[in-house]
Structure 1
Amino acid sequence: MRRYDDPVEVRRGETGTFGEGPDQFLWHGRLWKVRSVLAHWVETAPWWQSASEEAAGSDTGEKATEVGSDLLVERELWRVEAGRGISVSGVFDLSFTWSDGRWQLVGCVD
């Protein structure tokens, strides 16, 4: 799977078993139609990276508040099969971050 960090515009729709999720997305000016949702999960921020930053930072306790708030950052990940037309398709990982309402393409197998 190739890794990306590209912003995408997503239209949500009913995805059957998973409730409301991505139905279409616009990536590099091309519209992709979600054919099926393969998986859906939620991730929190990597607490171990924040903890190491705190240890390396000052000892005033300012970082402790930031570390605690990092744990509240969640993103939903959707692994979808999507296509453009009949013959062009791939498997994509799309993420939605609740804190800023942003969608991103984070992985692709095409």
Structure 2
Amino acid sequence: MDNDKLSSKTAGKPIRCRAAVSRQPGEPLVIEEITVAPPGAYEVRIRIICTSLCHSDITFWKLTVPPACFPRILGHEAVGTQVLDWDCESECGWRVVSASPTRQGIKVGL
């Protein structure tokens, strides 16, 4: 799908996408459809091209004591394309690489 079509169709709206979800420590991951809120201030929407599970994902997947938190979405090392900016003024279509654990408010190089 063309990035411009995706950004114009979904600007300001939640989207549905797939995620590898861990419901309980050590249980098999399940690919589930989830709802993702629209980007807030200083956030962007990224179409993920590829992601992987690393050692820290496996560590958190096995945790049974704090900071264990379930359900949890794994796969924080991703490559993708920016498709929507919080103000829709920046250029969509940039390639994005993040090797940092992602969480709300983290800055991603675009």
TM-score tier, shorter chain, comes to 0.3 to 0.5
More helix by share: 1
More strand by share: 1
TM-score normalised over the length of structure 2 = 0.34
TM-score normalised over the length of structure 1 = 0.34
